[in-house]
Amino acid sequence: MAERLSLALAQFNPTVGDVDGNAELIRRARKEAAAAGADVLAIPELALSGYPPEDLVLKPAFLQALHRTAHELARETEDGGPAVLLTTPWSVDGPDEKGSMVRRSTNSVLYLDGGRIVTRRDKVDLPNYGVFDEFRVFRPGHLPGPMNVRGFKLGLMICEDMWTPDAAETLAETGAEILIVPNGSPFERAKLDVRLQLALARVNETGLPLVYLHQVGGQDELVFDGNSFALQADGRLAAQLASFESQLALTVWERDGTVLRCVEGPMQPPLEGHEEVYRALMLGLSDYVDKNRFPGIVLGLSGGIDSAISAAIAVDALGAERVRAVMMPSPFTSQDSLDDAAECARLLGIRLDSVPIDPAMTAFATMLQPLFDGLPPGVAEENIQARARGLTLMAISNKLGPMVLSTGNKSEMSVGYATLYGDMCGGFNVLKDVYKTEVYALSRWRNQAKPAAAKGPGGRVIPERIITKAPTAELRPNQTDQDSLPPYEELDRILEGLVEREASIEELIEAGHARETVARVWRMLDSAEYKRRQACPGVKITTRALSRDRRYPITNGFRAPAG
């Protein structure tokens, strides 16, 4: 019986649908694992397809590519190097709900060794909540027994299977010596603590050590943060991999009586607080731009805090040479805003162009005069300004190639304080899930710290006046956001209750908010659903982002109680 298992953990950044590219990542990881003397290579959930593959799994051609590539990777294990625990969708025949035989796919781990696919384990607990919709495309597997791998009994559980005790209990009862959990768990603030507590529960229930293996990268609105870890059988942390970085690490396990004990593994402290959130925003933006092959981004730099922190994140994620800013002044733009935008661009080292929108405002006024004659100016004229700016940015994008980066925050998107086809236009919004109060906090933090992976400059990158002045859209004289909204500190607390916690009006009143304010925010939140459906994607950092996490009907007759 073998007494020592060298298990290589590869957390890396696959691309959904890029079967050949993902296979190369796996090959590189196996080569590195072989050089480190590993017996077995473990990789994150659905690494061959990328995660989440969504309806790609329904395409026969995609499944055929996965099958062909999995067999190629299996044949390569004839070389005597590390075995591979390959994670991929896998086509199987089975009965549908009516009992007819159909081809369905499983979310699987294939054990590759000796030039062949030795065996397979399938995900049992398919998540069907929040951003997850796996029951739509996968068939659940059966409760697993352990795999016999190089003289050890490995208990494979895939992601959600760790969230409940059944799979771990079955594996322990059937002789598993260690639990290995490939994952694709989207980032949320403080999510690592949740994962650790769930893993610890499974360890305490089974008395088995556990390896939690997680991917890195951005996929549409989701970000995956790495932070893979291992726990000893007594619950102590045995290994911890890096946050937001691809890494291959060797863990070495030895038999200590009847228990496997980790005697070698990396220990890297995870990121926390503002740095954790900022790195998630950087990674989400850079992968969206790079994986979709945009040369860079262009954004409107208004002299306000949202566009300033968006520009800073873009520079840190992509480099200053791939970020282009445009100031689009109107007759209502203050000199302070002009100066602040110019200073922010200088601090970040990015190009700043100026395209005044006065001619567009005049042209639209002339065009619409026969229809608007005799009516006082108002929101329509304000929105024309925002749409002239959106049109300008989209024209630059069409002509020169960079993707338009939208800069609205979660507070504004929640209550509809944004203009469709104006400031909402763009290909991606890095602040979509960031409340306004956190925009300020991240801006202050970035002026004091530079993330290790940032490509931007150190020191202050956002002028102090941008942080301290009253926020304003500058669409009419002397306008501020607080003319239309409650103070952001209060607004964000109410929104967090309504959006993240589905709190009732009575609960929010008990928390100290006025009934009429809560009812007003509720009404604004509901009435803006049609705008949010048309908003561009953006990085998810909270438990309930305003997209797939929260699915409210646009046509909705349920109203907030009167204030």
- Enter the DSSP assignment of 278: H
How many residues can be counted in the chain?
Answer: 563
Q: Rounded to whole angstroms, how far apart are CA atoms 103 and 10?
A: 31
Q: Which of 134, 159, 160, 177 is catalytic?
A: 159
User: Which distant-in-sequence residues (6+ apart) come within 8 Å of 293 by Cβ?
Assistant: none
Of all helices (H) and strands (E), which one includes residue 523? helix 515-527
Tokens linked to 75? 């044949």
Residue 478: how many CB atoms within 10 A of its CB? 9
In the residue annotation, 188 being an active-site residue is answered as: no
Check: CB of residue 108 under 8 Å from CB of residue 89.
yes
Q: Give the amino acid at 141.
A: G
Question: Tell me, what amino acid is at 10?
Answer: A
Please give the structure tokens belonging to residue 142: 């059966």
- Specify whether 159 is catalytic: yes
Q: Which of these is catalytic: 45, 134, 343, 438? A: 45
Side chain identity at 515, as an amino acid letter?
R
The residues with which 86 forms a beta bridge, in sequence order, are: 110
Can you read off the two tokens belonging to residue 53? Answer: 């593959």
- Distance in Å from the first CA to the final CA of the chain: 72
Per the CB < 8 A criterion, the answer to whether 307 and 301 are in contact is yes
262 carries an active-site annotation: no
CA separation for the pair 26, 44 (Å, rounded): 10
Q: And the tokens for 224? A: 């995956």
**Helix pair 19-35, 60-75: axis angle to 10 deg:** 20
The residues annotated with a catalytic role in the active site are 45, 123, 159
